[in-house]
Every structure is written in C-alpha cells, then in structure tokens.
Structure 1
Amino acid sequence: MPGTRHSARTLPLELRWDDRHPLPSRWVVPDGVRPPAPGRAGAAFDFSARMSALCADVAARCEELRHVHMPRVLVSFTPSRNRSRYGLQARVTPLRFRDGALTRSHGPTDYQVQRFFVDGREMLYVLTFCLPRFLDQTFREKLITVFHELYHMAPSFNGDLRRHPGRYAVHSHSKDRYDERMGELVDDYLADHPAPAAFAFLRAGARELWEAHGGIVGAVVPRPKLLPVGAVPRQAAARNRKGPK
C-alpha cells in the first residue's frame, strides 16, 4: 500500500520522469562485490527492463493475468536491508484507492496518492523487488513471486488491488492456498513455452548475473506518499473519485 499520510505540503502531488529527467537507477550489489566505476552502468544487466518484459510475457500467456498492462506498471527495486534470504521479496503498490478512486476522504479532508508519470504515461502500480534477496531464491520461487504480485492487481486494472471476499481481502482466506494457486499458474506458463529466453535470467543468482553482465542496475523510486489535497466540495469530490479512463 502507499506510504502513510504526510503532513509536509512541500511534497509534490505528481512525480514525472522522461528523457530530460530519467528514472533514477542504482547498482544492485551482491555480497563481496564492489560497484564498478561511474559510467559503466550502460553495459550492466537492466533488471527493471528485463523484469518488465518478463511480466508482459506472463500477462500475454496467462489468462488470469491478461488484464495486466505493463506500460502502466513501474518496475523498481529496493535494496535488501540484510543478506538473509528470508523477508520481503517483492510488493505491488497501488496508486489508486478502492475501485480506482483518485482520492479518499478522511473527515473533512480528501487525500490522494502521489501520481507517477513516465514519458507522459501515468502509472497505476509500482512493482518493487527486494534485491539482491529476490534474485537469490530458487528459479521456481522467483516465478511464483512474480505471479503472486501480478495477481494482486485488480482485474479491472484501475490502480486498485484485487479484493477477495471475507476478512482477508488481499490474500483470500488462505495465503498458502493463494501461493499454491500461483504455483499452478507458473507450471502452466512454463509448459511448452516457445521462448524460454524470456525467463532465463531468473535461473541465475545475483552473483552469477553480476559476473555475466559486469553489473546489475535497476530503477529506484520513492514509495508513493499519501498527501492531503484539501477540503473538496461534495460534487467535485465525486468527480475526482472517478477512476482513470
């Protein structure tokens, strides 16, 4: 979910990246490796680009994920806080509220999640991987994580999360069953796949990828903040809460 409400009104309601202001990136550094000298990133393995391409392939081949439109998903990474293979692997952050609403009321004030734009296109989700931890899972674990996060995106792809009935709206009543279902989708995806090069990079760990490509880089963006947008008249608020076209 987006970051908590922030009282600093100096934070922008929109963040934009383009050719003049490119997405910030940084090295993904495995244990025992030193980042190359500045200027070498151009030859490195671009994790964000390759993962975005993989997710697009998954969406194209998996019926239950056909709604995912990767041009409106920003793929980034966050550095692992420690080298344990256990802990956060990935997360999907929705950039809209329930049913794709742009704002949500709390008392007399409406709040909005910061809006992200890349090359003029508004993003609806930020898909973030914890690196290098994610890359050091097994091949199957990595693919299950990818499917797990994509499946969280609402079937209407409106910037909201998929919601299940009952108390456990995000993972349904059983997270184990949720992951078991993701494993079934992974098996179907891998069966007779005509272009295994799409996911071949997931067969390598972080150190192997680094050594094969001379480095790994990925996009790093701030976690979107929840900001107040002021008291909005009832009719205007209703218009604002309509989802994206």
Structure 2
Amino acid sequence: MFSAPRQTRKLDRPLDLRWSSDQIRLRAVKASCKPLLPVEHAPNYWSSGPVGLPFDFTHHIRLVCEDIVSRCSTFHHIKMEKLLFDFTTSRKNSSWGLQARVTPMRFENGALHRRKNRVTYRVQRYFVDGREILYLVTFCLPRFLNREFPDKLVTIFHELYHISPFFNGDLRRHPGHFQIHTKSQKEYDREMTELIKEYLHAGADQHRLAFLRLNYPQLIQRHQLIVGNCVPRPRLLPIR
C-alpha cells in the first residue's frame, strides 16, 4: 500500500525535520487486544537475537530489505540510506487491514512542490544524519507479524516495488488509469511471488529472514518487548 503525506492548512509545522540516528524515538509495540494466535514455543533454529533483550523490529526489517535490494535486480535502483523504517500500531485485532505502506516524500516525477486550488504545497523533508529521506516505509504491528511467512514476504516486496525506478521520491507509476496499483491485485501478487522466487534462488540470507518465520506472541515470549522507530507522518505544507 502507498500513502500520500497529509495536508496541513496552516504553516504551523517545520518545513524540514532533522534527526541523528540516536535521536529517533524507539517505541514499544503494544497489542490493543488479546492475540488471535496461540502462543507456541519459538523454535530455537529461527534466531531473532539475544533472548530476553528487546527486539528492534525496524532494525531487523531494514536488514531484510537490504538483502532483498542487493540480490534482486528489480530493486538495484533503491538506495537504502534514503529509506526510513517505522511502525504504526494495529487498532483492531484482525488479520485483515493495513499491513504496511510506503510514503513518498516527493510529488509526481520527484517534484518538491505542487499547486492545488491556487495554493502551492511542499512536502516536509526528513533528514537523518544529514542524509535526506525519500521514502518512509511503515509496518502495521502486530498485524504484520501475525501473517504467514510467505505473506510477509509478499507485503515487503509489494512495498519496495512501489518505489519509483527513478528513485526520485515519487512512486512507481503504471500506464493507464491504475497508475499506482495495477488493474489486477492477483496479477500484482503473482508478479511479487515471482520476484520472491528470484530472491530465494539468489541465496537469500536465511539468518536475516528468520524472525519473519515467528509471529508476534513468539517474539514477545522470547524477547518480552518489541520496539521500533516512531516518527511523525510527513505533512503537505502550504508555502504561498
């Protein structure tokens, strides 16, 4: 799924937000309801880091995406240092709904400004350690973690595929009426499945993928706490 920056009427927010890596707030993932899945013992052969220490989801999902980008030619244009990963909390105890989204930090064709109803808007710009962020990749937790392993991979590939092949802060745009999503969801998922096969055959790092084979209750059982980056959603700000 993709998400456009939210529109703000008044210029009451900074045009740029800047952080160092250690300034980005880590927040604990908290399930709003009792888990849908029973707590089964997490197999020891699926490693997720030191037992008893908090599990940093956004760190580990970045490692997975780095591996995918390095092994799949379809994603070689992605510069991982320009991506920021965070999470949002599932509001309902349901397996259906938002799994993840990618928010572009530019308008169509990488434009920084867009004029609408006689007002010019600009997207907030994010910088981490001086590097500008072009895409914010957000996962919905714990819902995403409670999906089956193949479904998790489809979701990850789906979000990465949204990133423009020009890597200009815009989304990948398809010809015709369905610019962002293709006309057929099944066809789109089938294409992602083929990319996943390519990735797995290219020697995917199973150590990095291991935590995706565990669900939320299993990770909580092993680590007691799951944390991740938490940043505000970017805004569309009127500048004139």
- TM-score tier by shorter-chain length is 0.7 to 0.9
Letter in 1 for 2:163: M
Q: Does 1:15 align with 2:9?
A: no
Give 1:242's aligned residue. Answer: none
SS in 2 for 1:163: coil
| Letter in structure 2 aligned against 1:201 | F
CA distance in 2, matches of 1:219, 1:194: 25
Paired position in structure 1 for 2:212? 202
Q: Which runs of 5+ in 2 are unaligned?
A: 36-51
Aligned equivalents of 2:204, 2:91: Cα separation in 1: 37
Q: Distance in 1 between matches of 2:172 and 2:111?
A: 14
Residues of 2 paired with 1:29 and 1:7: CA distance? 32
| AA in 1 matched with 2:24 | L
Residue 192 of structure 1: CA displacement?
5.7
Which residue number in structure 1 is paired with residue 182 of structure 2? 172
Describe how 1:141-220 pairs up with structure 2 within 5 A. 141-191=151-201, 193=203, 195-220=205-230
Alpha-carbon shift at residue 150 of structure 1 (Å): 0.2
Q: Tell me, yes or no, if structure 1 residue 85 matches structure 2 residue 95.
A: yes
Residue 8 of structure 1: CA displacement? 2.4
Please identify, of 181-190 and 144-153, the stretch whose mean Cα deviation from structure 2 is larger: 181-190
**RMSD over aligned Cα, in angstroms?**
1.7
Structure 2 counterpart of 1:115, from 125, 128, 133? 125
Partner deviation per Cα, 1:3-27 (whole Å, 9 max, x = no partner): 33211211111111115x7112211
Native 8 Å contact 1:5 1:226 kept in 2: yes
What letter corresponds to residue 135 of structure 1 in structure 2? L
Q: Secondary structure at the match of 1:55?
A: helix
1:24 is aligned to: 25
User: Secondary structure in 2 aligned to 1:183?
Assistant: helix
| Distance apart, 1:32 and its partner CA | 4.9
Aligned residues: percent identity? 47
Structure 1 residues without counterparts, runs of 5 or longer: 34-41, 231-245
* Paired AA for residue 173 in structure 2: R
Amino acid at match of 2:18: R
For these two proteins, the number of residue pairs brought into alignment is 221
Cα deviations across residues 105-126 of structure 1 (Å, max 9, x unaligned)?
A: 1243311111111111110000
Question: Is 2:235 aligned against 1:225?
Answer: yes
Q: Normalization by structure 2: what TM-score?
A: 0.87
The Cα offsets for residues 78-104 of structure 1, whole Å up to 9 and x where unpaired, read as 000111010000000000011111111
Query: Partner of 1:16: helix, strand, or coil?
Result: strand
